[in-house]
Structure 1
Amino acid sequence: MSGSAAAAAAAVVERIAAEWAVPGVAVAVTDRDGVVWRHVTGHADLARGIPLRHDHLLEIGSISKAATAMVVLQEVAAGRLGLDQPIGDVLPWVPAPLLDPAITLRTLLTHTAGLVGSVDALPDERAQVAGYAGGATGSAPGARFHYSNVGFLLLGLAAGAVAGRPLPDLVRERVFGPAGMRDAIPVITAADAGRLAVGHQPLAEDLPWRPGDPLVASPLVETSGSDGSIAATAADLAAFARVLLRGGRGDAGVVLAPGSFEAMTGTLAPSGEDVLVVPGQSAPEWSRYGLGINVEQSRRGRALSHGGGMVGYASFLLADPAAGRAVVVLTNADGDSPIAEAIARSVDVVFAGGGAVPDDPGLSGSRWARPETSLAVGDHLSVRPPALPPEAHGVFVGADGRRLEVRAAGEGHEVVVDGSAAPLRWTWSDRCVTTLPALRRFALVFDGTGWSWGPEEFPPERAAGGAPSRAHALEPSDPALAAAPGHYRSYTPWFPHLRIVRRGSRLVLIAARGVEAPADDQPLIPLGDGVFRIGADPAVPETLRLGPVVDGGCVWIDRDGCRYSRSFTP
């Protein structure tokens, strides 16, 4: 490894961490033989000023799913499980929606079982599964990719049932041992707090994060769930990445036999996880999820990737067998953004280029790509920095005559409201934020024609007064239009706040942050009897049910089994 690559990679990590207020970052680059470069920067605990060290554990979140999948595939190889075996055959106690014979280990491993993403109301995996009430909407099992933590809870319970031992014990023995992950732990409890770097999150849970907003320690969430309960050092995660580079062989033994590894990386869903395309990186041809790992088709061949988001932690693993290189990133920044992926892919660009620094290696939120030079964005690709199209510039007027102007300013943009101007900053989704106090509660979103901000819509000035969109509209007399809007909160740390706003005759769900919260504004589609689908896609299974109305407003709502009460704050 050249000194220029090491210096350039360190500079990229430092600049991205500073730009996006990441408390601490641990990065490692490994080849098939061992770690070739590592870098640790920032703090393990901001409040106490404790520096992050190489031996600190950080939570890796959903990267743990790959370890769960490996144990399941070991049980398949041993003949105790079958990929096409219905989960109800292994766990006959699961509720009726999960007894569909088409919900098999294969569809669960590939996230194609049609299950909801998560059930955040209860901390225990058996309780989450036993209380599962999904199935009213969504796609038929096997038809399409829809990421589901619930599916991996089922897989972990199934592996433990046939092996006669809890999944964490199996992961420790069969994955950590042969992989050479010496310090990793398969469950997270308060007893581990002394070894863990402290997780962090924005102080304001119900408002969009802006540069300069304070960060605080996040709550320590105890977990043993097979969807994401591993904590590790960067060296541990690099050892796990070497298993992927070597086709199943770890530093101290075999984790997966060649046939099982081929099944893991070659049995693919119709699509897969979103890929963040950073400056200097070529967009992959496609992204499809395998059995517990995401597979990207690149120019060199197939690369393997997985991200992890936890309360207070974000991580990413990128393994490129064709290049013989993997990059792993662990941070104690909140897991509601792909910041770890941005760092991992930017570092990979540096090493792939022999030390060349990509354009804008800090991924500045105030710098925007030009429309004519940005990549064509296909399915599951997200280009950052994004391009703001020419149609997003100009004067936009709300229904009450309020004017909003967006204009170019240097390499970025600024927004003007009520005579005050401030820079417009992109985020990791379609949302944009600004420091203007008048626009604090919600982010701005451009939909291709006009801007929206919470309940307000701003069409172009030349089109102001035109007919409002009827997409997803309710009848004007529908009582939900008056009863549902408001601010709701729950005590789940994964998705603590949401707001329902009325835009004309439509209802929209907006969650400012949360690891399991949607990153974009979501229309609520009426299904009848006070139930709404969350999102325009008719195949998604997530729903929201309105509770009783008191004094003109819903006092609570239910989101896939997690109840939220109306908040006293606006």
Structure 2
Amino acid sequence: MAGLQEAFERAGAGLEHHLMASHAAGAALAVTDREEILGVAVRGMADVASAAPVRPETRFQIGSISKSFSAIVAMQEVDGGRLDLHVSVNELLPWLELPEPFGPITMHHLLTHTGGLHTGTEDAPGFAGAIHLLRSYPPTSAPGERYHYSNDGYKIVGAVLEAVTGHPIHELLRLRLLGPLGMTSSVAAITDEIWTDHATGYEPLLTDRPGQLRHPLVPAPRIVSNTADGSIVSNVVDMCAYARLLLARGDLPDERGERILSEEGFTRLMASAVDDGDHGRYGYGLWNEEVDGRTWLGHSGGMVGYTALLITVPEEGLGCVMLQNGGGDRRSVVGAALAAVRAGLAGESLPAPWAPPAATAIPDAGRFAGTYAGEDGRTLLVETMEDGLSMAIGPVSARLERDPLLIEPGETFLVAHPAFERFPLEFRSDGTGVVEAFHGDTWFRGERYRGPEPQEPDAAWRRHPGLYRNDDPWNPVLRIVLRKGGLAIMWPTDEEGGDLVPLEDGSFAIGDPSFPRRVRFEGDVAGRSAVTVFDGGRWYRSFEP
């Protein structure tokens, strides 16, 4: 079909534009209907050093899309009467010893990220390390009370499934899903052996600051993993088979010729969905949301050096999967690919190839303009410039840049100048508009600021600011800064930072104390803290500024 062929040419052109605005070396995208793959677009390099291009068969790590595989197996066990989603996981795993200060934490809570558990770090990698830390960091809210994304919760899901079935989780996913769906190129464990046929992951070279498009990419650290929260390796061809399972509501044959998942089991996946504060509603390993009048059902994924997105549109019978070896939001290019294929199938005029806005294009830029007085005596001048913003502190000025792949640019911007790039420039608003800005350890008061005056910080807090490192490949660097009378944590990566709220036990919460994000400081080296402990992971003070 000529229209469909051109649709994928335009999807490919969109991928080219995407790669220029992302931190990825290559990408693959495929669209399927309920019966077969409609087309594939590939661009860029699977391995830059060898100049190996991305092919439809190129394997990537799909990250947290794996959670939905584990959730489907859990529904199979419920259908078989072998698993109760509503009893304490300590009953299902008597050795677990998971703290439950507010009541039983169940599989339902873990599958919906409402168990009150922290997200988890990879400072102690694997299931054993995660459980060891969880025993010392109890939930901070009652099960079912609030949504907080927890990779460690899904690690427990995998352990429960292993106990119920008697199979290691990676073997269980192969037997129940990868095999029956014909996903012959896919595996559910990341091992050293898989790297012989696998795209190389990439990330920005500089780990102590937010990545900018002008920063070079380098190969990302390699990891091994088989946990249920995200260990599947696959390609877009195989992942389209999985998308067809979702479009069929589980009605594809298993090895016995029976449905892989019952209608009741599939309905159960989203029946108890909760508001996730981001996409819309999160069920068991899948989220849904309304996009341009259509329901998207899917999940995103991120690994060290890889990101992925799986979207199905049930009412249209279409699914799209995008895998890339690097970072960068995928939603816009996936949405554009689906729109092009939709038009091609209908014989309608095709939309133009998707392209992101310029990084310097900042909508409604004028609301940020103004003069801001720094608590350190410096003055920040923010001015509109062409279609964006510039900032100046003293004689040095720079353009501000947004992430061009994000649909909503937000109020935090990169500073495109070596003197300022270690920190983003973060604006904050109240009901009257933008009133203050933060850059590293400096608070800048806007002309419209009418908020409270900063209090003198606790003298002991001055021991804590600095840059800390560890060997966690996900988040090797964190910073602690003292500004506006309080401490804050900052991450160069996508990990969410924020102001530190002191607690009675001497530790700190990041923002709202009801969420399980905890920081404490340990050790003394020449009057400064030696260690920052975040959710049990340990980062050690570095000499770097």
TM-score, structure 2 normalization: 0.91
- Whole-angstrom distance in 2 between the partners of 1:139 and 1:553: 32
Question: In the alignment, is residue 272 of structure 1 matched against residue 276 of structure 2?
Answer: yes
Tell me the equivalent position of 1:435.
416
Deviations 1:183-216 (A, max 9, x none): 1111011111011100001111111111210110
Deviations 1:74-103 (A, max 9, x none): 111111111112111111111341586521
Equivalent residue letter for 1:497: V
Deviations 1:342-378 (A, max 9, x none): 4323323433455644797224322233x4xxxxxxx
Equivalent residue letter for 1:416: A
Question: In the alignment, is residue 309 of structure 1 matched against residue 308 of structure 2?
Answer: no
Do the aligned residues in 2 keep the contact of 1:240 with 1:250 (CA within 8 Å)? no
Do the aligned residues in 2 keep the contact of 1:57 with 1:197 (CA within 8 Å)? yes
- Whole-angstrom distance in 1 between the partners of 2:155 and 2:277: 19
Given the alignment, which residue of 496, 499, 509 partners 2:476?
A: 496
Tell me the equivalent position of 2:335.
345
Question: In the alignment, is residue 452 of structure 1 matched against residue 438 of structure 2?
Answer: yes
- Whole-angstrom distance in 2 between the partners of 1:251 and 1:353: 31
- Equivalent residue runs for 1:535-546 within 5 Å: 536-546=511-521
Do the aligned residues in 1 keep the contact of 2:486 with 2:500 (CA within 8 Å)? yes
Q: Secondary structure at the match of 1:174?
A: helix
- Whole-angstrom distance in 1 between the partners of 2:397 and 2:203: 28
Do the aligned residues in 1 keep the contact of 2:187 with 2:234 (CA within 8 Å)? yes
Question: In the alignment, is residue 262 of structure 1 matched against residue 267 of structure 2?
Answer: yes
Q: Secondary structure at the match of 1:459?
A: strand
Do the aligned residues in 1 keep the contact of 2:401 with 2:416 (CA within 8 Å)? no
Q: Secondary structure at the match of 1:552?
A: coil
Tell me the equivalent position of 1:279.
none
Tell me the equivalent position of 1:202.
204
Tell me the equivalent position of 2:502.
526
Tell me the equivalent position of 1:560.
535
Do the aligned residues in 2 keep the contact of 1:95 with 1:131 (CA within 8 Å)? no
Question: In the alignment, is residue 425 of structure 1 matched against residue 430 of structure 2?
Answer: no
Tell me the equivalent position of 1:143.
145
> By how many angstroms is 1:332 displaced?
0.3
- Whole-angstrom distance in 2 between the partners of 1:340 and 1:445: 24
Tell me the equivalent position of 1:376.
none
Equivalent residue letter for 1:454: G
- Whole-angstrom distance in 2 between the partners of 1:453 and 1:487: 15
- Whole-angstrom distance in 1 between the partners of 2:301 and 2:210: 21
* CA RMSD across the alignment: 2.2
Do the aligned residues in 1 keep the contact of 2:220 with 2:305 (CA within 8 Å)? yes
- Equivalent residue runs for 1:208-287 within 5 Å: 208-250=210-252, 254-269=259-274, 271-272=275-276, 274-275=278-279, 287=280
Do the aligned residues in 2 keep the contact of 1:88 with 1:99 (CA within 8 Å)? no
> Relative to structure 1, is the Cα distance of residues 250 and 181 closer, same or farther in structure 2, using a 3 angstrom cutoff?
farther
Q: Secondary structure at the match of 2:197?
A: coil
> Relative to structure 1, is the Cα distance of residues 248 and 135 closer, same or farther in structure 2, using a 3 angstrom cutoff?
same
> By how many angstroms is 1:251 displaced?
7.1
Do the aligned residues in 1 keep the contact of 2:32 with 2:320 (CA within 8 Å)? yes
Tell me the equivalent position of 1:414.
390
Deviations 1:257-279 (A, max 9, x none): 1110000022212x12624xxxx
Question: In the alignment, is residue 484 of structure 1 matched against residue 484 of structure 2?
Answer: no
Do the aligned residues in 2 keep the contact of 1:239 with 1:251 (CA within 8 Å)? no
Do the aligned residues in 2 keep the contact of 1:452 with 1:458 (CA within 8 Å)? yes
Do the aligned residues in 1 keep the contact of 2:8 with 2:41 (CA within 8 Å)? no
Do the aligned residues in 2 keep the contact of 1:133 with 1:560 (CA within 8 Å)? no
Do the aligned residues in 1 keep the contact of 2:113 with 2:149 (CA within 8 Å)? yes
Q: Secondary structure at the match of 2:419?
A: helix
- Whole-angstrom distance in 2 between the partners of 1:346 and 1:407: 33
Q: Secondary structure at the match of 1:333?
A: strand
Q: Secondary structure at the match of 1:139?
A: coil
Tell me the equivalent position of 1:366.
360
Q: Secondary structure at the match of 2:76?
A: helix
Tell me the equivalent position of 1:505.
485
Number of equivalenced pairs: 526
Runs of 5+ in structure 2 lacking a partner?
430-434
Given the alignment, which residue of 290, 312, 323 partners 2:283?
A: 290
Given the alignment, which residue of 33, 36, 44 partners 1:34?
A: 36
Question: In the alignment, is residue 549 of structure 1 matched against residue 543 of structure 2?
Answer: no
Provide the identity percentage.
33
- Whole-angstrom distance in 2 between the partners of 1:513 and 1:300: 32
Do the aligned residues in 2 keep the contact of 1:184 with 1:231 (CA within 8 Å)? yes
Q: Secondary structure at the match of 1:549?
A: coil
> Relative to structure 1, is the Cα distance of residues 247 and 394 closer, same or farther in structure 2, using a 3 angstrom cutoff?
same
Deviations 1:273-313 (A, max 9, x none): 624xxxxxxxxxxx110111112145655321201010000
> Relative to structure 1, is the Cα distance of residues 315 and 442 closer, same or farther in structure 2, using a 3 angstrom cutoff?
same
Do the aligned residues in 2 keep the contact of 1:506 with 1:523 (CA within 8 Å)? yes
Q: Secondary structure at the match of 1:317?
A: strand
Tell me the equivalent position of 1:48.
50
Equivalent residue letter for 1:215: L
Tell me the equivalent position of 2:11.
9
- Whole-angstrom distance in 1 between the partners of 2:100 and 2:52: 46
- Whole-angstrom distance in 2 between the partners of 1:186 and 1:231: 6
> Relative to structure 1, is the Cα distance of residues 101 and 467 closer, same or farther in structure 2, using a 3 angstrom cutoff?
closer
> By how many angstroms is 1:136 displaced?
5.1
- Whole-angstrom distance in 1 between the partners of 2:69 and 2:296: 17
Tell me the equivalent position of 2:155.
153
> By how many angstroms is 1:477 displaced?
3.5
Equivalent residue letter for 1:145: Y
Runs of 5+ in structure 1 lacking a partner?
276-286, 372-387
> By how many angstroms is 1:440 displaced?
1.9
Do the aligned residues in 2 keep the contact of 1:300 with 1:323 (CA within 8 Å)? no
> Relative to structure 1, is the Cα distance of residues 245 and 273 closer, same or farther in structure 2, using a 3 angstrom cutoff?
farther
Equivalent residue letter for 1:476: P
Do the aligned residues in 1 keep the contact of 2:467 with 2:544 (CA within 8 Å)? yes
Q: Secondary structure at the match of 2:309?
A: strand
Do the aligned residues in 2 keep the contact of 1:88 with 1:100 (CA within 8 Å)? no
Tell me the equivalent position of 2:432.
none
Equivalent residue letter for 1:80: R
